[in-house]
């Protein structure tokens, strides 16, 4: 007999080729599955969403099955000992057998951190951006993105989805301790969507693109810019159920 376990994890994305398991690459999912095998637990892992190479997570959600004899606190300590230091299981709890971290998620938030000061010690965890940021202009740009839209022109090419309609509930941009934080909350995001949005915002900030360009691309009138911002400033922040 087995229990289904829900895990909330954080990880340093700079050390992995993303969340999702890939052949011949070091991934977060792959490392957790290896850790489970070391504990004689043979279970596949479900996760709330793949993050790209270099993208971090503060509260990624996973689930997997474990034999009922495992005591959850002991399992958490044993896994953290193996996964330390770049993956950390913050919480484990028994959940419903039908729970799926991706399909049961109601909303998610991402944050992106920009810094005007370069340091090799923080280069993997923030995006160096030495230009002055027009907060009010980018607030207007972010407001344009709020609501329900077809985000096909803001998705990585080759995204395997049934549709591109997603809803963005809330956006924020603010300065905090010398850094600029951009926060986006939505019901779900397409592959590369946040990084494409961030790159578009920074080009608006530099007057290379305009608010009108953003509207044209959002309404699928014209594909103007589909470049990805650097992954290192991006964090999967929280998932709601």
pLDDT tens-digit readout, 82-138: 999 999 999 999 999 999 999 999 999 999 999 999 999 999 999 999 999 999 999
The domain boundary, picked from 68, 95, 122, lies at: 95
Q: What is the CATH number of the domain that holds 71?
A: 3.30.70.580
Q: Is residue 31 located within the same domain as residue 147?
A: no
Query: Stretch 218-237: mean pLDDT, rounded?
Result: 98
Question: Rg for the chain (alpha carbons), in Å?
Answer: 19
How many structural domains compose the chain? 2
Q: Is residue 91 located within the same domain as residue 113?
A: no
Q: Is residue 124 located within the same domain as residue 228?
A: yes
Proportion of the chain above pLDDT 90, given as a percent: 98
* SS3 category, 77: helix
69 neighbors 152 (Cβ within 8 angstroms)? no
Q: Among the options 12, 24, 52, 97, which is catalytic?
A: 52
User: Which pLDDT value is given to residue 32?
Assistant: 98
Residue 97 bears catalytic tag? no
How many CA atoms lie less than 13 Å away from 234 in the CB half-sphere?
23
The residue range of the domain holding 78 is 2-95
Q: Is residue 118 located within the same domain as residue 27?
A: no
β strands within the chain, DSSP E: 2-11, 46-47, 56-67, 87-95, 107-115, 127-128, 147-150, 165-176, 179-186, 234-240
User: Which pLDDT value is given to residue 160?
Assistant: 75
Give the span between the Cα atoms of 211 and 120, in whole angstroms: 34
Model confidence band, residue 188 (pLDDT cutoffs 50, 70, 90): very high
Tokens of 130: 């030495």
Using DSSP, how many helices (H) and how many strands (E) does the chain show?
A: 5, 10
Q: What is the CATH number of the domain that holds 185?
A: 3.30.70.660
User: Which pLDDT value is given to residue 157?
Assistant: 83
* SS3 category, 137: helix
Q: Give residue 204's Cα distance to chain centre.
A: 23
> pTM value?
0.96
Q: What's the pLDDT tens digit per position in 8-27?
A: 999 999 999 999 999 999 99
Residue 158 has pLDDT above 80, yes or no: no
Model confidence band, residue 239 (pLDDT cutoffs 50, 70, 90): very high
Q: Is residue 76 located within the same domain as residue 163?
A: no
Proportion of the chain above pLDDT 70, given as a percent: 100
Query: Stretch 157-181: mean pLDDT, rounded?
Result: 93
Asked whether residue 100 is assigned to any structural domain, the reply reads no
Residue 159 has pLDDT above 90, yes or no: no
53 neighbors 17 (Cβ within 8 angstroms)? yes
């Amino acid at each position: 007999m087995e229990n289904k376990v829900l895990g909330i994890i954080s990880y340093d994305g700079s050390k992995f080729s993303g969340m999702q398991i890939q052949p011949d690459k070091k991934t977060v999912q792959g490392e957790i599955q290896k850790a489970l095998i070391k504990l004689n637990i043979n279970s596949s892992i479900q996760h709330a969403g793949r993050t790209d190479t270099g993208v971090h997570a503060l509260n990624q959600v996973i689930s997997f099955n474990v034999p009922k004899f495992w005591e959850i606190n002991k399992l958490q300590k044993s896994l953290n000992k193996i996964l330390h230091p770049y993956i950390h299981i913050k919480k484990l709890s028994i959940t419903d057998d039908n729970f799926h971290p991706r399909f049961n998620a109601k909303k998610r938030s991402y944050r992106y951190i920009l810094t005007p000061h370069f340091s090799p010690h923080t280069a993997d965890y923030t995006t160096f951006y030495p230009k002055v940021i027009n907060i009010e202009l980018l607030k207007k740009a972010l407001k344009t993105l709020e609501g329900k839209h077809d985000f096909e022109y803001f998705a990585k090419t080759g995204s395997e989805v049934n549709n591109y309609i997603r809803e963005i509930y809330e956006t924020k941009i603010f300065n905090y301790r010398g850094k600029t934080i951009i926060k986006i909350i939505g019901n779900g995001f397409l592959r590369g969507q946040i990084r494409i949005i961030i790159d578009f915002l920074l080009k608006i900030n530099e007057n290379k693109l305009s608010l009108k360009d953003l509207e044209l691309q959002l309404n699928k009138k014209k594909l103007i810019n589909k470049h990805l911002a650097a992954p290192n400033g991006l964090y999967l922040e929280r998932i709601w159920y």
